[in-house]
């Protein structure tokens, strides 16, 4: 397969992984199968639609009906193969991490192919990667994983998008390089989850001494 | 009136119906009259703006100031004629169903007029129909009707958009056909609400045996 | 500096003020520093991205990397200089008001420069001004300030955008006029907050007599 075909495969895989995460959240929230398909579609296709609107092109998800297959497949897989509900959260986060790893690559590559400068392309790739999950969590009314302090979410996506944007102008980007970056991003994200890597809170803690505790949700 | 004028009338009516649903939710949430106008405008105009951004054209709602009239009228009607609060939910759902029935037609017709293929046009029509209500519920922080399992929401919109997309290439679409499809979609949606038609949950129930009950909101 | 440079300065200042409001909400919600940067970026850049997508141009925030500086600066300022948490809400509202005052000007001017008619330009300027804050509150799962009945939010933005749209076709708009309008909008918004100016509720109260009290959130 040539680079273009591989890129489509990665993109469809990313859509599928994110769609599964949306369908799993639908299970947790007790939605029906249609709500599952809707939330899966929004999660899988949302980031790419934002990317394409910013690039000023007719979104892939609407232009090519093949993009509808992964969400349908995801809703069916979750319906028939859903493991016990107790494990849904961990499974959801794993699929979400896989989608994140692929979309930060394909989003950045798409932007670079459109002649966007590397800094903006990395930014747009990051937005593509985190956009679908942010919409998933917002419409389903749960605290977005992006803001959850028990793990790193945006940083792995930034690293992956930045790596692609750095390799591309040097002529070093290839499908193989993309796979390596995706694996690194996925591993980074999963390790951050398992080992509970953290970054500091939004305000330096010394300012809080004597103040009231910040409100928990 | 010619087909083009009828299409505008249907679109403005759809904006009005959805705007009323937004203003009624504003009443339920105890917003003020400006918040009511804002939520009504978002609900009435949101789906069409997404449709037009995807189609790459300057959104109708911004291009033609006449589109501002229905939300203003809706906020005024709800302010002066609002029935007792107890009945707000049912009234809201009825107006929402009317907006859904009209927008799945006008959204699909607009996309087809732009040369979009029938499958994508039906998809875009469905997004137009469900987008405004999804934004209404998301920003007002209520569980989106789209995900509510006590009724069918997306399916009537898909049926209406699919019918238009099937009739159009055959040259069988007309304003009269659009009215018939809209009435069928509206009746389908209202019957689904009244008779509590349901589809299965997002996960096959046999997987839940022995597991914990899924969390209710 | 010429008018074009001043316009960029106002826009970047508006991004900074809104970004600070996003970072302050991140502190209140106990997000980490990356979540703070993300929420600040969404708040600061979100309104302008919607404006640019409607205008059909590549969004400034992606085209010009300088737009990334204000959110980074805002996250750093909030991290190091954040006052005691008790005062965060008032500080947040003040920065939000400053962003609102600047964006209703720059959003309207941008639309007018693109040849949009004055009514649509004022509408788009208002959307630019209130869009970022609406997204901030929606994704962070708090009741949007836009719908809060203890203060006026959309009206000052409409007044500012309307003033610019009225002055422009008469050839009376200048950078100085923009500063005056921004100061008036800011003062209007702050006075509305301090003096708790209100407009009527979404439904005329006489309809509620005998009905149940509307549900509070």
Quick one: pLDDT at residue A152? Answer: 87
Question: A126-176: per-residue pLDDT in tens?
Answer: 999 999 999 999 999 888 888 877 678 899 999 999 999 999 999 999 999
Interface pTM, i.e. ipTM: 0.88
Res. C213 pLDDT band, cuts 50 70 90 = very low
Which among C27, C56, C78 is the nearest to A56, CB-wise? Answer: C56
Which of A19, A20, A23, A30 to mutate to probe the B interface, most B CBs <10 Å? A30
Q: How confident is the prediction for chain B on average, in pLDDT? A: 88
Residue C32 has pLDDT above 60, yes or no: yes
Per-residue confidence (pLDDT) for residue C113, from 0 to 100: 93
Calculate the CA A183 to chain-centre distance.
14
What is the rounded distance in angstroms from the CA atom of residue C87 to the CA atom of residue A122? 36
Average pLDDT over residues A16-44: 93
Put simply, the answer to whether A139 touches B143 (Cβ < 8 Å) is no
Helix (H), strand (E), coil (C) string for chain C? CCHHHHHHHHHHHHHHHHHHHHHHHHHHCCCEHHHHHHHHHHHHHHHHHHHHHHHCCCCHHHHCHHHHHHHHHHHHHHHHHCCCHHHHHHHHHHHHHHHHHHHHHHHHHHHHHCCCCHHHHHHHHHHHHHHHHHHHHHHCCCCCHHHCCCCCCHHHHHHHHHHHHHHHHHCCCCHHHHHHHHHHHHHHHHHHHHCCCCCCECCCHHHHCCCCCCCCC
pLDDT exceeding 70 applies to what percent of chain C?
90
CA A86 to chain B, closest CA, distance in angstroms equals 7
Confidence at residue A213, expressed as pLDDT on a 0 to 100 scale = 44
Low-confidence ranges of chain B (pLDDT < 50): 207-217
Task: Identify the band that residue C205 occupies on the pLDDT scale cut at 50, 70 and 90.
Answer: low
Terminal CA-CA length for chain C: 49
Out of B111-115, C84-88, C190-194, least confident range:
C84-88
The pLDDT, as a whole number, for residue A211 is 41
Residue of C43, C55, C60, C82 to mutate when probing chain A, most A C-beta within 10 A: C82
**d(Cα A59, Cα B128) in Å, to the nearest integer?**
15
Is B201 in Cβ contact with A32 (below 8 Å)? yes
CA B27, CA B39: separation in Å to the nearest integer?
10
pLDDT for position B86: 54
Q: Are C36 and A123 within 8 A, CB to CB? A: no
Give B129 to chain A, closest Cα distance, Å: 13
pLDDT in tens, A181-204: 999 999 999 999 888 888 888 787
Give pLDDT, residue B206: 52
What is the domain partition of chain A in residue ranges?
3-199
Tens digit of each residue's pLDDT (9 = 90 or more) over B165-204: 999 999 999 999 999 999 999 999 999 988 888 888 878 7
Contact B9/B1 with Cβ under 8 angstroms?
yes
Mean pLDDT, all residues of chain C: 88
Confidence grade of residue C83 (pLDDT, cut at 50, 70, 90): low
pLDDT at C150: 64
What is the reported pLDDT for A206?
Answer: 52
What are the residues facing C201 on neighbouring strands?
B32
A146 chain-C contacts, CB cut-off 8 A: 35, 38
* C-alpha dist (Å) from residue C184 to A69, A153, C9, C112, C146: 53, 41, 19, 21, 19
Which residues of chain C approach chain A closer than 8 Å at the C-beta?
23, 26-39, 49, 53, 56-59, 62-63, 65, 68, 75, 78-80, 82-86, 138-141
Nearest CB neighbour to C120, from listed B28, B63, B80: B63
């Amino acid at each position: 397969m040539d680079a273009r075909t591989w890129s489509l495969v990665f993109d469809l895989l990313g859509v599928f992984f994110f769609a599964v995460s949306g369908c799993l959240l639908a299970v947790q929230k007790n939605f029906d199968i249609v709500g599952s398909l809707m939330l899966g579609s929004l999660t899988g296709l949302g980031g790419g639609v934002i990317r394409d609107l910013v690039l000023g092109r007719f979104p892939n998800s609407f232009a090519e009906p093949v993009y509808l297959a992964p969400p349908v497949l995801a809703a069916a897989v979750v319906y028939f193969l859903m493991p016990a509900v107790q494990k849904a959260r961990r499974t959801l986060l794993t699929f979400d991490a896989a989608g994140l790893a692929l979309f930060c690559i394909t989003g950045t590559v798409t932007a670079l192919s459109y002649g966007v400068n590397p800094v903006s392309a990395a930014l747009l790739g990051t937005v593509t990667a985190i956009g679908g999950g942010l919409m998933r969590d917002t419409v389903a009314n749960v605290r977005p994983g992006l803001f959850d302090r028990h793990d790193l979410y945006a940083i792995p996506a930034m690293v992956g998008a930045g790596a692609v944007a750095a390799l591309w102008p040097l002529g070093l980007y290839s499908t193989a390089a993309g796979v390596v970056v995706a694996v690194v991003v996925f591993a980074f994200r999963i390790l951050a989850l398992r080992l509970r890597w953290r970054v500091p809170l939004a305000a330096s803690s010394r300012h809080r001494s004597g103040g009231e505790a910040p409100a928990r949700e």
